[in-house]
Amino acid sequence: MNTVAFFDIDGTLYREGLITEVFKKLVKYEIIPAERWYKEVKPEYDRWDKRKGNYDNYLLKMADIYIEAIKGLHKSQVEFIAKNVVAQKGDRVYSYTRDRIKWHKERGDKILTVSGSPVELVKEMAIKHEFDDYVGAVYIRNSDDVYTGEVVPMWDSESKKNSIDMLVKKYDIDLDKSYAYGDTSGDFSMMKMVKNPVCVNPTRELLKEILDDAVLSKKINIVVERKDMIYKLKAENIKCL
């Protein structure tokens, strides 16, 4: 059986959300009207930036508009944007996570990414950082490769669990020896499934779920990267205020 490291991308490897960069490109190319950023997304961002709102709400608002925006676009248009985003921003990653990818490769572990970002983006990040396989949110296309406005999500905990179950069968994975790295409540199921879970800059929502889970809180490692420092913590020493 194989030992695997599962990685989330947004907020775990990449230092923000890749969907943010795609959104900016869609505004730049006038696919999304700029006023939608100011009227719908920016208020959510400002609430989070001032620590008065939820980061997930900000990302989900962008995802909702993204679904609308790409409806009617051709696959080649979205792939072009994804390639440009990763070419320009793909190295903007946490040093801790980048080093862990290298460590797992040197050990001979398979490295897989299960991400809530659009699969076109996840594919480009997987190529850039040499993942063995990837799973992302699938935006449905018709027979002409035009997006329909439908989506198979991958940002929620249940979807990630189902994807990991699929990958376990595909790669004959030993979860009792494997690792998982994530940062939001969507990664909770992934953390519970492996022997060696690691939270990288976790959100309050994920941390609360971990602290409420007696089994997970004992085995998880928590990593916080700020500026040029990396802090490694244990759940037993953390209190959510």
Interaxial angle between packed helices 55-70 and 18-28, expressed in degrees from 0 to 180 and rounded to the nearest 10 = 40
pLDDT tens-digit readout, 151-175: 988 888 888 999 999 999 999 999 9
Is the Cα torsion angle 65, 67, 73, 78 positive or negative in sign? positive
Backbone angles phi, psi at 183, to 5 degrees: -140, -15
pLDDT tens-digit readout, 137-146: 999 999 999 9
Taking alpha carbons only, the member of 109, 38, 23 closest to residue 69 is 23
Instruction: Point out the residues of the chain with pLDDT beneath 70.
Output: 37-38, 240-241
Q: What is the strand order of the sheet 179-182 is part of? A: 147-152, 133-141, 110-118, 4-7, 179-182, 196-200, 221-226, 229-234
pLDDT tens-digit readout, 59-73: 777 778 888 888 899
- pLDDT on residue 241: 60
* C-alpha 48: how far from chain center: 18
> Is it true that domain 4-237 has CATH number 3.40.50.1000?
yes
Are the C-beta atoms of 153 and 116 separated by less than 8 Å? yes
- pLDDT on residue 204: 86
